[in-house]
A = this chain, B = another copy of it.
């Protein structure tokens, strides 16, 4: 993805539009990647062909005088677009406008995604909607003519790239989260939306920071076909299944980075719930454990408190797969060593406290909960979350609207 500055006239316009929005949620970040997180930045691979990305400081929020707060992701040619939006009933204006736009165009002829930080444009009434529409129109005006960059063709090698932001207000359906994914694979709008919806369930809808589902969550996917090849038009073709699998894995990687960025997070915790009757049951139990303040403070305190994990398992709503006397809980260390059993078929194990302490010292940890081992249930869900720290309370208690 070539990094270029967008048309300066566009920036000036966007600046005027966005300065008129008054609701500010997020504070500008430091703009730097903490050294402990640099290892998660990819150092190899190739960007999808035919996309241009740029960012600029336009001053959305007066207090931010330094950091870029506007990004443009553009395709050299009109492309197919798909998106998944928050289920929150108070949907921010950009969500409403983007959804309508995609619907009107039936996911075709998309040129760009324009995104700002420093203002959520949520609960801004009619004016907010007008601002969002205006932002879209001004962005459209940046494209004087259609280029033909997308038709060079490259054969069988396709690329996928993306960006995401999160931090707080993160729980399935979706998070205060923006995810933008681009690919140069040729995929028609229908299959593109199907692939994204399916990928989101196992990625962005399988993470939790604090259990709060925001008004703005959006993950968008553009496919411009710039790498050439035959367009995927069916959701049953082999090419589609391959694309879907790659997209899901990629979306999981992005979603996990959101958790690592969680406000005040000191731990990255994988929750694997197995032996459920349905995926939905497994997902609900994992989600309930992931948002339990007692589980999350125990993880922060490095305490092997399986009682709290079990407690959350037991109060997950609308779940039929829990059989108390067949439930097992264990910690799976990420260093490849053997799992540490805490509860086996409803009976507490004698826990090696020294080993538990060692496992809990690590930044990464997996909690495995088997629900009904002997019933022949096979469904499994994986969820990612972080701990609840003093820092989380500080960030969200000190925050000023």
Please report A residues at the B interface, Cβ cutoff 8 Å. Answer: 23, 25, 87-91, 122-125, 168-169, 171, 173, 210-215, 291-294, 297-298, 300-301, 303-308, 310-315, 322, 324, 327, 343, 346-348, 388-390, 392-394, 396-401
Is the pair B346, A397 in contact by a Cβ cutoff of 8 Å? no
Is the pair B88, A303 in contact by a Cβ cutoff of 8 Å? no
Contact A123/B315 with A23-B307, A25-B307 known, Cβ cut-off 8 Å? no
Contact A398/B348 with A89-B322, A212-B315 known, Cβ cut-off 8 Å? no
Tell me how far the C-beta of A124 lies from the nearest C-beta in chain B, rounded to whole angstroms: 8
**Mostly helix, strand, loop or mixed at chain A's interface?**
loop
Tell me how far the C-beta of A95 lies from the nearest C-beta in chain B, rounded to whole angstroms: 11
Is the pair A397, B298 in contact by a Cβ cutoff of 8 Å? yes
Is the pair B398, A310 in contact by a Cβ cutoff of 8 Å? no
Is the pair B125, A301 in contact by a Cβ cutoff of 8 Å? no
Contact A314/B89 with A298-B397, A307-B25, A393-B393 known, Cβ cut-off 8 Å? yes
Task: Give Cα distance in the complex from A348 to B310, angstroms.
Answer: 42
Residues of B within 8 A of A348 (CB): 23, 123-124
Partner of A398, one of B169, B301, B322, B327: B301
Is the pair B123, A297 in contact by a Cβ cutoff of 8 Å? no
Is the pair B313, A90 in contact by a Cβ cutoff of 8 Å? yes
Partner of A298, one of B123, B215, B311, B396: B396
Is the pair A90, B297 in contact by a Cβ cutoff of 8 Å? no
Could you show 5 A-B contacts with beta carbons less than 8 Å apart? Answer: A169-B311, A210-B294, A213-B311, A388-B393, A389-B393
